[in-house]
Chain A
Amino acid sequence: MSHRPDETLTGPERSAIIRDAVAVGVATGAYGVSFGAISVAAGLSVLQTCALSLLVFTGASQFALVGVVAAGGSPLSGAFTALLLGTRNTLYGLRLASLLRWRGWRRAAAAHLLLDESTAMSVNRETTPAARVGFLSTGIAVFVLWNLMTLVGAVAGEAIGDPRTFGLDAAVGGAFLALLWPRLHNRKHQVTAVLAAAVALSLTSATPAGVPVLAAAGVAVLVGLLPGPTPVADPSEGSDPS
């Protein structure tokens, strides 16, 4: 895409961006189904599950909250874990702010749609209009399908009943591993993951549920304090709606 001084967007360009956005939204629906089912299996009601997808609307954080609750942790420690994971979106916002250039209520509304997907579909555009179309169409497509499929998953999960029946309790670990997998691309990340898991397990018997996971965040802080190259927040690492 060439940089034009008038920064307008032609019809075909706009259609192509929106077509990609819808495809991303459909792909995201698959996560929505798993989240809905896992959340209900963790003991949340269908209404609470849907409220999470509507209000929190950032996948990894939502999985974390219900994951902590499923492991017997307090909802509050689940919420704090969700917030720590949500800090990633702040870094995405920093990169997008100068490109999207929204002010006032538009910025306030756009913030809710700030995710891995909407960032990935807008951060590489060369003009503000193209970035805005990419951001908005992806954000809206993901929002609609994520919430719709959360409801489908939650209703299905409730019909299943006991989470152990279809191994739904094991599905949670699989979901977290799928979210973690694309982030293990270098040694530092791999070491961080192993240390964090070890810290969490060593605290499991000694502290209330929920605390081990929060304590593991300390590993990220400690490793981050070590000098090293500065990473760039990369939305393609997280192929989840987060």
Chain B
Amino acid sequence: MWGAIILAGVGCYLLKLAGLSIPTAVLERPIVQRIGDLLPVALLAALIAVQVLSDGPRLTVDARLAGLVAAMIALVLRAPFLVVVVVAAATAALLRLL
């Protein structure tokens, strides 16, 4: 775990420093910009899917999906980040109590 923390820490720092240091022309090519723009979208969507619908190697539907739907409603209602997270957690916790 510590190795991963150091790797992520050093790597993310170098990515930041590279932006401030590398000649602009290298990374300002349209294709690099487009992929860089889409990477967070793809990764976050994949993380949501895996996080909510998998249990180890199996795909499952449980209270977490209800939490996600509740979070989506909160986002449509323009709730702030912390409220969205709490709504997701509380919805799942309540469903399990039932």
The residues of A with any CB-CB pair to B shorter than 8 Å are 30-31, 33-34, 44, 48, 51-52, 54-58, 60-65, 67-72, 74-76, 78-79, 81-94, 96-98, 100, 102, 107-108, 110-112, 114, 164-181, 183-184, 188-189, 192-201, 204-205, 209, 212-213, 215-217, 219-221, 223-225, 228, 230-233, 238-240
Contact = CB atoms under 8 A, between A and B. Distances in A.
Given A81-B43, A108-B17, A217-B39, A230 B33 contact: yes
Interface in B48-98: 48-54, 56-59, 63-64, 66-68, 70-72, 74-75, 80-82, 84-94, 96
A75 to B, nearest CB: 3
A97 B71 contact: no
A97 B68 contact: no
Contacts of B90: 166-167
Contact of A196 (B3, B8, B34, B43): B43
7 contacts: A56-B5, A86-B15, A173-B71, A177-B88, A196-B41, A204-B54, A205-B57
Indicate the member of B5, B10, B66, B80 with the most A CB atoms within 10 Å.
Answer: B5
Contacts of B36: 87-88, 90-91, 224, 233
Given A167-B91, A231-B37, A70 B46 contact: no
Given A175-B85, A224-B37, A228-B34, A196 B45 contact: yes
A67 B20 contact: no
A87 B3 contact: no
A167 B16 contact: no
B16 A89 contact: yes
A204 B58 CA distance: 7
B5 A173 contact: no
